[in-house]
Amino acid sequence: MNLYNSQQLLFSQTQPVARYKTRPLPVPRDFYDKGFTVFDSISSPEKAQQTAELFLANLDTERLPLLTNIQDRIQLVKADAIPMCGDSVETSFQALHFDMGQPIISEQPQLMISAVALYHPFGTPASGTKTRILSLKGLFSQPKHKEAEAVEKKLISYVKHYGDGWADTNTYRLQCFARVVDAVNGTNELANYRDKTMAQWFKGGKNANGSQSLKNEQLFYEKRGIYLDKIETGVELLPGQMVIIDNTRVVHGRFGKRAAKEIYQFMFGLEAAVADIDCFRTELVKELTSV
């Protein structure tokens, strides 16, 4: 079966990336520092997948403590050519987010996406679209947020009331990162985003080119002392390039319109146990409040 474009979870069809541990691949320092790195001259989607698996198997758990207990269980979870959904194809804007959302608390195992790779295949022109990437390191290190424990309590309280879900279902996950900012600042302005899609966040009017949505998102952050235009990075993928993003230490979005199925998206993760989720939350708060 072709793994790509199945729009299904692939746990039963792929193997943990740990199978590559005997094959070394140097990990660029920028991945540890910034949470993402770009590879050039990747010849095919299959090669992109293999390169990403080899890369993830070679990450240093001493530098990324969250991986200590989960690295051996990480595998390719989803692989599709994107964008594929109608509203995602039509929009030229995606807000900053964790892919598939991240579980903040849980009483049962949940899907955790630890890394995402985006690959632009040869033979298709570059669209000029930029993947927006925001490092979470020190984002809430300001004195007003005080200590990590206070930030964690606010995050837990928020997700208990407004975690992603629908009707009476609360998954205790957060996908839109602005909702994390909402929580840490003790507000609930985005409480109604719990059941909205990425194409609906910060949507403004007809918004043909996404510029109003981008302004709406930037204004939300600015009111809370975060100036996205100064701290986020834009990565334009050229044919043959792949960016690998740590989905636990950075969030990403998009500005610019992509053709349907323009790039390949590979999601890597695991069925995280409750202890893994608690560890993720602890490391997330450390990252956000580090100086």
18-34 pLDDT tens trace: 998 888 888 999 999 99
Q: 17-289 has which fold?
A: Double-stranded beta-helix (3.60.130)
The single residue listed with the structure tokens 């975690």 is 163
Could you tell me if 146 and 275 are in contact, meaning their C-beta atoms sit under 8 angstroms apart?
no
Q: What percentage of the chain's residues is helix, strand, coil (to nearest 5)? A: 35, 25, 40
Cβ contacts of residue 210 below 8 Å, gap of 6+?
A: 91, 92, 93, 255, 256, 257
Distance of CA 27 to the CA centre of its chain: 19
Which stretches in the chain have pLDDT values below 70?
Answer: 1-2, 84-90, 143-146, 205-209
pLDDT digits (tens, 9 = 90+) for 58-89: 999 999 999 999 999 999 999 999 876 555 55
Q: What is the DSSP letter of 237?
A: P
289 touches 140 (CB < 8 A): yes
Residue 20 to residue 238: CA distance in whole angstroms = 27
Q: Could you tell me the pTM of the whole model?
A: 0.94
pLDDT in the model for residue 158: 98
State in Å, rounded, how far the first CA of the chain is from the last one.
47
Asked if residues 10 and 267 have their Cβ atoms less than 8 Å apart, the reply is no
What average pLDDT does the chain have? 92
131 and 262 Cβ atoms separated by less than 8 Å: no
